[in-house]
Amino acid sequence: MLRNRIFWNSVLTIAIPIIIQQFVSSFLNMVDVIMVGQLGDTAVAGVGLANQVPFLLMFMLFGINSGSATLTAQLWGKGDVSNIRKVLIMCLVICGLGGILFTGVGLLVPAQAVGIYSSDPAVIALGSRYLQLSAISYVMTAVSWSYSSVLKSTGVVKPQMFVSMIALGLKTLLNFLLIFGNLGLPKMGTDGAAISTVVSRLVEMGAILFIVYGKKSEIAVYPRHLAGFTRRMVTLYMKTALPVMFNEVFWALGITAYNMIYAHISTEAIAAYNIVGSVEGLAFVIFIGLSDSCGVLVGNKIGAGKEDEAYSYARWLWGLIILFALLVGAAIFISRNAILSFYKVEDITRGYASDFLLVSACMLWVRTSLMTVIVGIFRAGGDTRFSLIVDTGTIWLVGVPMAALGAFILKVPVPYVYVMATGEEFIKFGICIYRFFSKKWIHNLAHHVEAATAESAVPGA
């Protein structure tokens, strides 16, 4: 495999644009946190907790889009563009409804939403204001992500990379201008950060729609494509996509529970947790790209009926990601104090963040490995129900209870709470290794889609 040019060309063609896109996204997100961090611990905590609402939405969108990508990657391998359009339509409907729901929460009950995570009045006031201003961007995000996931699963990644770079660059520029009042603009603080989010999401959506419709992409959907749906097709989509959506939502709720635990410990603890999250996001860029390329390639091979080749690709990419993760983890371990020097926070916050980064550096290879096998490999193979059970089961039966035990009953120091929560990762890792080598995760969904579309259309469709 190391000498297989076709393998490496396929991997790098997909992975490199995604890695660049994710690097720019994570780096600029970290810059955003640094900018907000200049306003103090309350601003970091308030914006971080306000972002828990769109955080849940993003994982719902990611779940639906991942389920859709599972089908579209296999259908693309089979050359079935007609059914790819049907998958995109269903994805747009569900994601759009989710975006509307979360927009309503952000506009109508922002203080109550932020108040779930913190009892600090200053944090709630600042966070609810940020949430209310940024909420109108959620539907835009839903539309952009739906088209982007299908484009990526068909191998179209370079245009999206440039769109993300432009949108995120614009967001950072607007943050610089509006948060601090540079170049004669008003100094708006966290309100400026929220406005920059809305503008950048609008630009992103417009650019994605231009790529699809302006360039007349094969996946472009029109009202005429609403015809031809069958009950079995809709059922198959739901059986594939809904487990992934529930997987991501329940996993995100678990991460939200962690945020609640740290926020109730202290404002310094949750600020440190948010800082480390931004650093981890930057560290994950290589692995997101490789994991996504793994999912696309494995799905294409399974859809084309080349299951042994799909397994071989998955095995080699998983091993490659573990190797890279060890190297990146070592780099974080060595440079963690230098990284934290960019944040103007209290000494206690910096101390917590340093300890969190130490644990994160040691655990990086496990976390990236799990992301690859669950998000990239198992889902590409259509094994979405197993992924739901193992991913949500471990975080809710092990991770969250252990963090709560350490924080509220044993009352151990904050860094030990972070360590106790990592127990779920090792249990999950052992289960996933067994599942992978059993090959039970390989399911040819493209074959089932072909059979489903052979039925008569749903009456009135």
Count of domains forming the chain: 1
pLDDT tens, per residue, the chain with 461 residues: 667 777 777 777 777 777 776 676 666 556 666 777 777 777 877 887 888 788 778 878 877 887 888 888 888 888 888 888 888 999 999 999 999 999 999 999 998 988 887 778 888 888 898 889 989 999 999 999 899 888 888 878 788 888 888 888 898 899 889 988 888 888 888 888 889 889 998 999 999 999 999 888 888 888 888 776 777 778 888 888 888 888 887 887 888 888 888 888 888 888 888 888 878 877 777 788 788 788 888 888 888 888 888 898 888 888 888 988 999 899 988 988 888 887 777 888 888 888 989 998 999 999 999 989 998 899 888 888 898 899 999 999 999 999 999 989 998 988 898 889 888 898 999 999 999 999 999 988 776 666 666 554 444 43
Q: What is the DSSP letter of 32?
A: H
In a domain, residue 458? The reply is no
Q: Give a yes or no: residue 457 inside a domain.
A: no
Amino acid at 332: I
Question: What's the rounded Cα separation, in Å, for the pair 67 and 90?
Answer: 11
Q: Which domain holds residue 123?
A: 5-452
CA distances from 92 to 64, 87, 221, 265 (A): 9, 9, 10, 39
Q: Distance of CA 165 to CAs 2, 18, 31, 158, 195, Å?
A: 32, 11, 14, 11, 18
pTM: 0.73
User: How many CB atoms within 10 Å of residue 53?
Assistant: 25
Establish if 461 belongs to a structural domain: no
Is 460 contained in some domain? no
**Straight-line distance from the first to the last Cα atom of the chain, in angstroms, rounded to the nearest whole number:** 47
